[in-house]
Chain A
Amino acid sequence: MAEEENGAAGGEFYLRYYVGHKGKFGHEFLEFEFRPDGKLRYANNSNYKNDTMIRKEVFLTPSVLKECRRIVSDSEIMKEDDNNWPEPDRVGRQELEIVMGNEHISFTTSKIGSLMDVQTSKDPEGLRIFYYLVQDLKCFVFSLISLHFKIKPI
């Protein structure tokens, strides 16, 4: 079944998210990538106060990828389109690229400061889905990365 293909472990899955801008402190960005072989890559860059790039990677189990897939599929982002979303600008840029089953989306838009930006846009429904999905994905990725790499302070 096509649904199974998209949703089950057998179908393809890839996800990449980027948010960033170029400014006084260099190219500041956050990017993470869920790869089909289970590798999660995370990068966070800023030259603020001469800071350097953080790059982490770890292999996830199929269960984790499956959960990521579920989060994406529940959001119904694959049904949306970015043609009425604000274009990336000087303030910044977001990119979301997802391969799920036989569908491949690659959306770009500007940074979203708050729900106000969503509500006043030309596609509030679609942009809202994007806005919340990005937050949920960030939560997931930050949890995975911090749990795997970060030592708890005393």
Chain B
Amino acid sequence: MANAADVDALDFEPDDDDLMDDDAAVDVDASSPTAAAHIPKLKSAITGGSAAAAASSAPKKTKGRGFREESDAARSNRMSGRFDSLDSDGGPGPERSIEGWIILVTGVHEEAQEDDLQNAFGEFGEIKNLHLNLDRRTGFVKGYALIEYESYEEAEKAIASMDGGELLTQAVNVDWAFSRGPFKRRNNRRRSPHAHRSRSPRRRY
């Protein structure tokens, strides 16, 4: 069964709830001519200068009541403020979790059981934690598993050995679950950051 574990609360200021973070303060993209054509200002609960709009490089087909509703100021505050995280330098590469290293297995056969994963992954090291979540509708395995090893080497060995391998005759992929920083989206890097913001003709010098 799925492990809907409780999350421990850490100490921090409850007043942060009302603070507008830097994240939510800048909101240029939502009013770009391309986006504004048929997308009303995106709810600022999406922080980071409207992360959803920032992600877009082209107008999107939109659907849903959420676009027609008045944006609620409280919404923007909910996802702003300080969020707890484990300390990290923000660089590339996998990140250690609180007590070990977590890998994600995908392509897991829908009839797989915990024992099958123990057998396949137990040889690389002791499995400290295993989440094999079920599809809530069908009761079969959803298709992924999260496995924790105590050491980086054990997890790395598991990835190296099992990525592209097989479990119950079905191909699986194995990779780290957590990263130390954001990933660069190579697709968008080549474009100028301003390319999608304005339709006015480029200045000719």
Q: Are A108 and B177 in contact (CB under 8 A)?
A: no
Verify A63–B173 contact, CB threshold 8 A: yes
A64 touches B177 (CB 8 A): yes
In the complex, per-residue mask of B71-95: 1 if CB is within 8 Å of any chain A CB, else 0: 0001000110111111010000011
Q: Is B43 an interface residue (CB 8 A)?
A: yes
A38 to B8, CA, bound (A): 23
Residues of A within 8 A of B4 (CB): 138-139, 142
Could you tell me the dominant secondary structure of chain A's interface residues?
Answer: mixed
B136 smallest CB distance to A (angstroms): 4
Contact A146 B142 (CB under 8 A): no
- A147-B131 contact in complex given A54-B9, A99-B55, C-beta closer than 8 Å: yes
Question: Is B167 close to A, CB under 8 A?
Answer: no
Given contacts A57-B84, A136-B142, A139-B136, contact A104 B61 (CB under 8 A): yes
Separation of A54 and B16 alpha carbons in the complex (Å): 11
Contacts of B39 in A (CB 8 A): 104
Q: Are A151 and B95 in contact (CB under 8 A)?
A: no
**A56-B84 CB under 8 A given contacts A105-B64, A146-B5:** yes
Asked if B124 is at the interface (CB within 8 A of a chain A CB), the reply is: no
- Contacts A14-B52, A36-B185, A58-B95 known; 11 new A-B pairs at CB < 8 A: A33-B51, A37-B183, A55-B84, A60-B178, A97-B52, A104-B56, A104-B63, A106-B62, A106-B65, A139-B134, A147-B129
Query: B198 near A: Cβ within 8 Å?
Result: no
